[in-house]
Structure 1
């Protein structure tokens, strides 16, 4: 029998200035490309395509609010999961998946793909001072299949090249594996990546609702990715209230980091193992399920207190909305992370990245002085951020 952990929030002993958090050098390793699209960009492209929508695009983005699933799935968890809606939710809610589908519908050519990648990097740089960004991309919809895999990846790569030139950032792409599809389809996706190697495609990641497909379904696809030297991650212990899926992703799929992972707290033995191995968990305090945000933050707090290696990420920053700097701020102000712990998270973010060894070593060296300046409370010697950063 497990004991419930109460959803309490701890106030940090130090209130950090937003500029400090933006200047802390950090990497964002769990960010979905479609989830980065600006409301203004969606509005422009929707008008161009004359897409019929139930409301103004900007209003739709403001009302993204994925409603929770069957509450009976989450009875008796260690950290109680909210069973109803929370205050302040919009009267009309649009799910993250529905809005993402509308965004995909208005993307029409390689220039559109390059644009949204570039804007994702621009926003990460402007709002958060992000130094390295890894973006999930999904299979092409039918109306973009004419680009082919190579054409799409080259469009993404052009966005990264422009961002590296303009913002001094580095970036990589992660091929998303839709867990609602079959294992055979996933294997075909990975085989296409392996047969068409590109320097910007660094790995694969299992996404979509965890309850839609168990990780063991994708063992063959992940084995092929591992043989090809690709990085491997998976959304796990996020929607299914069990630690088992995380262990399956590590031991069967060969993942070297885990996206989310909050329900590992259901098993003390698993927590002990993950603490010893210091498996990196890319965590997001903000989610489109607004009623679950306090639960998310209480879970991350418990993970941090248990000594797990938590690395803040932005997930879908354009649609929640949030930013990497905002996620670090929540870590400080609501979860109780100290300045030193935030500095450790920033270092862990580059350590868990899929940059090639030489580029990772260079990033470590570039991070070092600024991270230690942050840890000590000194001004970091970095290029000043634009004054319009929120």
Structure 2
């Protein structure tokens, strides 16, 4: 791990990481390095779990919130998923480095192409979730980016163990260990402050509770890609079955360790039979989710009295059931109060589907399917760290293409 005592030291560290990315661009051993890191992490399981136990014991003494402790706990399944993600990344093909593109007609003959390039140096600022450092590092290695890790103090021992494995494995693979740097937890709040003040980073990705993400968004002087967890909405049209809606909601909470696309608000058309709502409540409770009925019907343009609750992610398995007068109202509520990264609709009405897809502003929309998030899906090219609600090219899944930029190259004849 690296100690950072001042902004100038951080600037020097970023420069060191950037230099390492230049050498990586000339290396043909990225896939081999990913496989080697996966192998070494597998061999270091016992040491990593021992370190994680120390972190868990210390967190209990420090009265760390239960949610963060759950995120901190590195189970065999969670570590296995991260290791398998590295192995799958080793076999992923990136977009072609140079691709032809159509140019606008001009008076002079020209050809145009675009090429993909890494962003540069990325900072990953996160709390708990020690395995996410592995996934973030794998994505950066695959795309040729440098990475600076700033984990929370609650995971200091686990992060140290993982960082040591990465450093040793990269060195064995003849890749500069400077490519992936983990800032020492002993630097604490001061190191985070230097990261926020730096203008030399190409991207900062914060991950954790909304309070952390919002703080980074407010304070960072470098570009930030905001992540989102939970507070996803689903509209339940009168034509959809309760069993279908229950299946979508329950499945959305099944991703571990965090319900990235967890549906926490179900907007129900006011004409829905009470028996159907009761069936949904029963099925949610059987799945150990808590169903909470909202009093009354919300109408378009009405400001809910509990607007703060509608805008917050509970992340505790609570699902609010809210009656609305029509789909327009549901869409307005989604656009105003949801996290904005993964909203859904359950309906057999094509006009409702069309209206929803045209007016809902979520970065990803799910029509008659569960929005469940998978970090390491069967399609390896879709491997992702998390989700973002930001609009534009970086919206939706935070994966390989998120960490690449497209550069246009125009050739003329002089």
Please confirm whether the aligned pair reaches a TM-score higher than 0.5, indicating the same fold.
Answer: no
State the structure with bigger RCO (CA 8 A, min sep 6), 1 or 2.
1
The structure that is strand-richer by fraction is 2
TM-score, with normalisation over the residues of structure 2? 0.30
